Amino acid sequence: MSNKLYAPIILLLVLAFLIGPFIIIIAASLSAGETLSFPPQGLSLRWVIKVFEVESFRASFGISMFLAIGGTIAALILGIPASYALSRYKVPGAETIRTIVSSPIIVPGIIVGLALLRYFVVPFNFGILFALFLAHTALILPYAVRVVSASLTNLRSDIEEAAVLLGCSRVGAFFRVVMPNIRGGILAAFILGFVTSFNQVPVSLFLSGPGVRTLPIDMLSYMEITYDPSVAALSALLAFMSLGIVFLAERFLGFSRYV
Amino acid sequence: MSDSRFLSLEKLTLSYGKNVAVPEMDLDIAKGELVALLGPSGCGKTTTMRAIAGLMEPASGAIVLDGANITRVPANKRPVGLVFQSYALFPHLNVYENVAFGLKLMGVKGKDLETRVNDGLKTVGLSQYATRKPAELSGGQQQRVSLARSMVMEPKVLLLDEPLSNLDARLRLEMRTELQRVQKESGVTMIFVTHDQVEALAMADRIIVMLDGHIEQIGTPEDIYNNPASDFVADFVGFENVFERVGDTIKTANGDVAISGDIDDATKGLAWRPSMVTLGEGPYEGTVRGTSFAGGTREYLLDTPLGQIKAECDAALPAHDFGAVLKFDLPVAKAAQLARTGSL
């Protein structure tokens, strides 16, 4: 076989590997059968409809949305000034700070979750929701700092001096000329953070408690009891939601430039 | 306060941490003057400019503008404009909004704002580009926007950082006359920083040559060009053959060489432009080590007992070959007599 044939075959295999599970999930969710199976037994939308009827899914979806949106906003409130300071000033130990800020991505989620549970939730008696909120904020922070830092690096710093000479205060210059120019990066960080938080399992696993569960954890426990295709249907819906968000971001912001 | 001391730096010391970049500088600039701060990189010219703008706090000394001590006045409250080397336009705003930025902060609104912005754009010939974003403009146009953005604020002093360095040769000539025109028409006191002596000589009313944080010489372009005060200035403006003078001798790489002529007692050095060197006759001999044709003239690099000498003659004369031995003279009558040496 020639090289010309190898390349497309390998490409197809890789694509199948990446997209395959997604297709299986969609197919399984459209099954008319009683259990999760592939290939689907007949076609129906009953499991998709079932998703919206399960009470605990609605509650955990709400919690997941709250964590994803609230955590991302909190991470940006912490991350934007941090990125600004790291890119504009000679901060002693800047590299160390960057590493520490990135550590939640590097350290396995299981360890982060266990540590938070053992040393924060238990001794300080934090509420579960508050602990989850803190954990998600910490997990999103590295993305916020990275993406916002990237757009700050591309922005010349002399425009701030120019703004000051035209009458702005230092703080005013940040809001008038820095923020509008890193808006794309901030939105990109928001989307990355949102998706990361929404799909988070290991950390949330440790911090879930009675009545407070994120959606992925709720799906896991649902599956332990019932093995019906509604979990597949929910997965497919979530995948489409993520795709939709990324598509819109790419369409309007050129998302891939910032990641 | 008189007009000749419109802007004064008084014993101004500027430092970065423990490194003193500019020690105790004294300088007076007159109202409506177009001044060049000329010097090689690292001479403190940009630092001085940033201090005048308020972007850098002086370690000591004072800056007095139009009778008011502005040393501790923050940058956003100073009546000083600055055109950045990179233009520093706001990328998210269009040309009109860039120019309006400072006026809006000043509280100018409505018709008044519109008139002033449009006048500013008209001055720099960019009225038809008002709705463009900076990224859609050429370097020269961005420069003009930056100029208009500062000018509409009606600053008492306008500073320009290397205003021509990012432009190509043709635009540079155009922008030179443009800047001079805007300055003369508005009467604003303008100080520009440059490392290019040609730029400084062509544009400025007065040139301040800086070296290692101090002022090496202040003078009109003619002064600087014809009567450099030191070996550094001489070399900077094209006197490529510079010698230290002791009594009736000049010091060379191969020992002292006697010279004769009418030399001022205070003269510490002598300098010749390549065009001032007499070629073909004279008491010295040199071997041609390099030639280059420069249109109207031909330049020679000579290996001589005095060291390397750069000479120049009419290109219409027959060329001398590499390795040829030529007689030459350094006529004292033509030489620039330097008051100081040792800065090269």
The per-residue pLDDT for B1 is: 45
In sequence order, the β-bridge partners of residue B207 are B36, B219
Q: Is the pLDDT confidence value at A1 over 60?
A: no
Q: Is the pLDDT confidence value at B225 over 90?
A: yes
What is the C-alpha to C-alpha distance for residues B201 and B197, in angstroms, rounded to an integer?
6
- Mean pLDDT computed over B296-315: 91
Tell me which chain A residue has its CA closest to the CA of residue B86. A158
Q: Is the pLDDT confidence value at B74 over 60?
A: yes
Residues in chain A within 8 Å Cβ distance of B102: 166-167
Tell me which chain B residue has its CA closest to the CA of residue A184. B92
The CATH architecture annotation of domain B3-228 reads: 3-Layer(aba) Sandwich (3.40)
Q: What is the residue extent of each domain of chain A? A: 55-257
How far A185 CA lies from chain B's nearest CA (Å)? 14
Q: Please give the mean pLDDT across all residues of chain B.
A: 92
Task: Pick A181 or A256 by higher pLDDT.
Answer: A181
The per-residue pLDDT for A255 is: 57
pLDDT digits (tens, 9 = 90+) for B23-67: 999 999 999 999 999 999 989 999 999 999 999 999 999 999 999
Q: Is the pLDDT confidence value at B2 over 60?
A: no
H-helix or E-strand spanning residue B23: strand B19-29
Q: Hey, is B198 helix, strand or coil?
A: helix
The per-residue pLDDT for A69 is: 94
Residues in chain B within 8 Å Cβ distance of A159: 88-91
Residues in chain A within 8 Å Cβ distance of B92: 177, 180-181
What is the C-alpha to C-alpha distance for residues A162 and A82, in angstroms, rounded to an integer?
23
Domain A55-257 has CATH 1.10.3720.10: yes
The per-residue pLDDT for B39 is: 93
pLDDT digits (tens, 9 = 90+) for A98-154: 888 878 778 888 888 888 888 877 788 777 888 889 889 988 999 999 889 988 988
- Mean pLDDT computed over B119-137: 93
- B/e letters for B259-280, b = 16+ CB within 10 Å, e = fewer, are beeebeeebbbbbbbbebbbbe
Q: Which of A158, A159, A167 faces B105 most closely, judged by CB atoms?
A: A167
Domain B232-338 has CATH 2.40.50.140: yes
Tell me which chain A residue has its CA closest to the CA of residue B83. A162
Query: In a 10 Å sphere around its CB, with 0-12 CB exposed, 13-18 middle and 19+ buried, how is residue A209 labelled?
Result: middle
Sorting pLDDT into bands at 50, 70 and 90, what band is A258? low
Lowest mean pLDDT among A197-211, B31-45, B241-255: A197-211
Q: What is the residue extent of each domain of chain B? A: 3-228, 232-338
Prediction ipTM score: 0.84
Percent of chain A scoring above 70 in pLDDT: 96
Query: In a 10 Å sphere around its CB, with 0-12 CB exposed, 13-18 middle and 19+ buried, how is residue B251 labelled?
Result: middle
Q: Is the pLDDT confidence value at B215 over 90?
A: yes
Task: Pick B262 or A258 by higher pLDDT.
Answer: B262
Residue A221, phi-psi category: left (phi > 0), alpha (psi -120 to 50), beta (remainder) = alpha
Q: What DSSP string describes B170-197?
A: HHHHHHHHHHHHHHHHH--EEEEEES-H
Between the two ends of chain B, the Cα-to-Cα distance in Å is 37
Closest among B297, B159, B318 to B238, alpha carbons compared:
B297
